[in-house]
Chain A
Amino acid sequence: MGSRRQFIVQSVGAFAGFLAVDSIFSRAARAASGVYTAGSSAGRCLVVVNLQGGNDGLNTVIPYADPNYYRARPSIGVAQSEIVKLDADLGLNPNLADLKELFDAQRLAILQGVHYPNPILSHFRSTEIWQTAAPDRYVTDGWAGRYLDDAQLPANNLFKGVAIGPVLPKMMIADKTDVPAIADLRTFGFNGKRDEQRQADMILNGAADLYPFESPYLSLVQDVEHDAHAASLQLPQLVAGYKPAVEFPKTPFGQGLNLISAIVNAGLGTKVFYISLGSFDTHVNQRQRQDSLLAQFAGGMKAFYADLAVHKSDDRVVTMTFSEFGRRVEENANRGTDHGTAAPMFIVGGGVKGGVYGDHPSLTDLDFGNLKWHTDFRSVYATLLERWLGVSSTPVLGSAFPTLSFVS
């Protein structure tokens, strides 16, 4: 906590002094001046999509040539004729048809059989494991948060990481970096003009001054209020020059990707984005819900990369999906599936070497009815950290993991 508290005092000092002499937007301009250098990892960013609730990998990337698939999925199996075939064995759920173009352009890598040692079938602990990259211990910060703390990014940039949605995911929790969680740009700000300046002063002036009580949450509240005030004044100005080149889907997921594209194209220097889609917790009537969510995902990705391409930014944005776990191989009695283990991940973008990586886990050699994983998710993170973001992965992940070849 020491480092966090120190950071608050410093940033408050800078902010307060600046308020006295200039308008709010000159600071914004400074933040925006630390923009990327094309061609180096400095301008690259990572978008993480959480398919939350446990996406059924087996109905996402389908081993359609394996008769065991249809034996395990008599009512919810996807018919061969509907599958978007990638090769002689493997195909995509038809609702992912929009991804086929990216696959054919070698901009989609599919990593099969990814999970972590000693799988846990709890949504919450498993989500925490994916977000902290710590399957064997409990930690308070997230893996992207640790990266942002260590990445030597400009200290005055309030947008090093951005989470879409009202909740700050554990992945983005850092010791020194306060990542904004933005539900919607239109509501990200004070609705009343009155006393805005004073509200800021009130919030800031408390920091250096003594409260009549101590609270473990006091510095966090001050920090978030301060940064929310500053970020909400800056962001609309910073992205004002961006105009979407395509129509994004009108879903919250599509609109969230639109905001990410705005921030990417405004060149704010954001390194990691987070957005979620769900819930994929399909215990009952899986096809209906999963199909609709997968269509939202693929439609969003298609619009996102089309928009980035028009703005000539597609080469510096890689998107990675994850879900806390895949689901049971055998369907249950309610045309759904229960919690499982290993599942595929999608890696999309200009820096990606497209194709299928790793074998599909066996549908018969199972662990209590669940797929056996063969690729540790931390190898995927290590690859993105080392080969895409250009940093050493060991400090972020706690130890070294072999990198994979899906980044060109």
Chain B
Amino acid sequence: MSADQSTVSQYRPTGSLDPASALSPYAGAWTPKLAAHLLRRAGFGGSSAEIDRASASSMNAAVDKLINFGPDDLPQSPDADLSYGKGVPPAKQRAANIAMQLWFLNRLLQTANPLQERMVAFWSNHFTSAVGGGATPTMLVNQYDLFRKFALGKFSDLTHEVASDPAMLYYLNGAQNNKKRPNENFARELMELFTLGVGNYSEDDVRESARAFTGWTVNRATGEARFVPRLHDDGTKTFLGQTGTFNGDDIIDIILRQPAAGRFVAHKILQAFVYDDPEPELVAAAADQFSSSGYDVRALMNTLLRSNVFYSPRAYRALVKSPLEVAIGTLKTLGATAVITPIDGAIAAMGQIPMHPPNVAGWPGGAQWLTQSTVLARLNFVNRVINMNRPAKTVGPNAGTTGAAAPGPAMSMASSTDWLGGVAMTDGAAVADRVLWLTVQGDATLSQRGEVISYLQTDGVGNPVTLNGENIDEKIRGAMSLAMALPSYQLA
């Protein structure tokens, strides 16, 4: 069994792939919809202005801007007390966790380098770790900085780095893996989930490689990884058909010489960025390039983000947005400038606790994001955020009768009239089209568009309403909330 088989799903797009041209550069029309598609996939969606800028340039210029990023000026770590562990009161530890999550979320929202942050999210869901069992928020922050540094670097370099990363040493019990009694947890997941996939190694390979990784611990005082030779098993190991006194780095090198490694990682990248259940021919083509480039992620993304398959109708809206994508994308659409509590908790209700994957396999994504509870949480999330910057006059006795969500903390974002972007407020159809462009780039059915127009032009019981300065704020918020409830809005 291979990785490809283990992820068979019914969610491969219909139609057929042309393997010969799939990865060749796309030369078709560059439309605003495709610009928005690029920003959804290679980032967390675009604000109205970002979509306009990307579509006004060329496809190549838009991809260049995403790929060739420089250093950013956002904080490298949270500006907060991250004390954690024994002796720190639980309330302080909770605060440290929240500060860490908000730091991460704010980077996603505020970055000038959306692809870099998108890769941080990808790698953190690949090389999973979480706070707990010794791992502290500071270690997670440092680990995410590592993902940021290697965002588009060599996958091989990143794998070597991760193997001695303190958060990882705790998360998969590498810190407890010693010569006397090896702990197999990291060795197994390294092969199963990080590099090869089930079926490409044996139980003996797990046992032998666990011995090779022995000796790494974490210095509790400094939080840094260190290698303790006396805890390392320097005996002979036989691993994937080779025999030697291997250490962990040797094991990783042997793994990355397996053809299965290129296929496994290319499959995962295609699944995250292009579409679900990619054809074996597409995986093979991407894997060939990836392996022969020495696992150069930047080169692979350069190919993918300019490719025919990426801009094909088969890839368009073919993925389910993660809660992070819904949240950050919504905030960008609404012109929010910062992520504040309780947004972090609302993302968790959608099924994704930021920086806290459910288990070592990470969030599986796709259909798994869509349950009745999480879908309701998505609709509740947008409804809540849309109402987080309500002008003071609508908060009061009337707020309940309009059914608005209870006003939360003030949120810095664009006003509802900014969302209109200059469209004449009295023209219901024009307002509806503007709202549907902002939210789903016009990807609605005719009757859905009709519903938005009808909502804008009637009251709750069907009487005609004229849009004016008195009611426009309420009506735009309602229309945005409707548009973000559309099935299209859940698709990336």
* A residues at B contact (CB < 8 Å): 1, 53, 120-125, 138, 140, 163, 165-168, 173, 178, 180-184, 187-196, 198-199, 201-203, 205-206, 209-218, 220-222, 224-225, 227-228, 231-232, 279, 283-284, 332-334, 338-339, 368
Q: Decide: A216 near B13, CB < 8 A? Known: A166-B371, A166-B373, A190-B379.
A: yes
Q: Is residue B296 within 8 Å, beta carbon to beta carbon, of the partner chain?
A: no
| Interface contact A183-B403, CB-CB below 8 Å | no
| Chain A residues with CB under 8 A of B181 | 332-334
14 pairs, A vs B, C-beta closer than 8 Å? A122-B188, A122-B198, A138-B5, A167-B351, A178-B372, A181-B371, A181-B372, A191-B380, A211-B488, A212-B442, A216-B275, A218-B491, A283-B173, A334-B176
What residue in chain A is nearest B386 (Cβ atoms)? A192
| Residue from the list B371, B442, B448 in contact with A202, Cβ < 8 A | B448
| Interface contact A217-B371, CB-CB below 8 Å | no
For the A-B complex, the count of residue pairs with Cβ-Cβ distances under 8 Å equals 217
Tell me how far the C-beta of A119 lies from the nearest C-beta in chain B, rounded to whole angstroms: 10
Report the separation of the CA atoms of residues A192 and B474 in the bound assembly, to the nearest whole angstrom. 14
Which of B276, B313, B375 has the most A CB atoms < 10 Å from its CB?
B375
Residue interface mask B372-411, A partner, CB < 8 A = 1: 1111110110011001000000000000001111000000
Q: Decide: A211 near B445, CB < 8 A? Known: A225-B487, A279-B359.
A: yes
What residue in chain A is nearest B317 (Cβ atoms)? A215
| Interface contact B403-A217, CB-CB below 8 Å | no
| Chain B residues with CB under 8 A of A232 | 372, 376
| Interface contact B198-A220, CB-CB below 8 Å | no
| Residue from the list B377, B384, B387 in contact with A187, Cβ < 8 A | B377
| Chain B residues with CB under 8 A of A138 | 1, 5-6, 8
| Interface contact B491-A199, CB-CB below 8 Å | no
Q: Decide: A198 near B491, CB < 8 A? Known: A181-B372, A215-B317, A231-B372.
A: no
Report the separation of the CA atoms of residues A146 and B252 in the bound assembly, to the nearest whole angstrom. 41
| Residue from the list B183, B349, B361 in contact with A124, Cβ < 8 A | B361
Q: Decide: A121 near B403, CB < 8 A? Known: A182-B372, A279-B359, A338-B183.
A: no
| Interface contact A221-B373, CB-CB below 8 Å | no
Q: Is residue B368 within 8 Å, beta carbon to beta carbon, of the partner chain?
A: yes
| Interface contact A212-B443, CB-CB below 8 Å | yes
* B residues at A contact (CB < 8 Å): 1, 5-6, 8-14, 133, 173, 176, 178, 180-181, 183-185, 188, 192-193, 198, 203, 206, 275-276, 313, 316-320, 349, 351, 358-361, 366-368, 370-377, 379-380, 383-384, 387, 402-405, 442-448, 451-452, 455, 478, 481-482, 485-488, 490-491
| Interface contact A332-B487, CB-CB below 8 Å | no
Tell me how far the C-beta of B403 lies from the nearest C-beta in chain A, rounded to whole angstroms: 3
Which of B193, B371, B485 has the most A CB atoms < 10 Å from its CB?
B371
Report the separation of the CA atoms of residues A165 and B358 in the bound assembly, to the nearest whole angstrom. 13
| Chain B residues with CB under 8 A of A166 | 349, 351, 371, 373-374, 377
Report the separation of the CA atoms of residues A188 and B487 in the bound assembly, to the nearest whole angstrom. 19
| Chain B residues with CB under 8 A of A205 | 445, 447-448, 451
Q: Decide: A225 near B375, CB < 8 A? Known: A191-B383, A206-B448, A213-B317.
A: yes
What residue in chain B is nearest A235 (Cβ atoms)? B372
| Chain A residues with CB under 8 A of B358 | 167
10 nearest A-B pairs in the assembled complex, by CB-CB distance: A333-B181, A194-B403, A193-B403, A181-B371, A228-B372, A209-B445, A221-B487, A180-B372, A192-B383, A216-B11
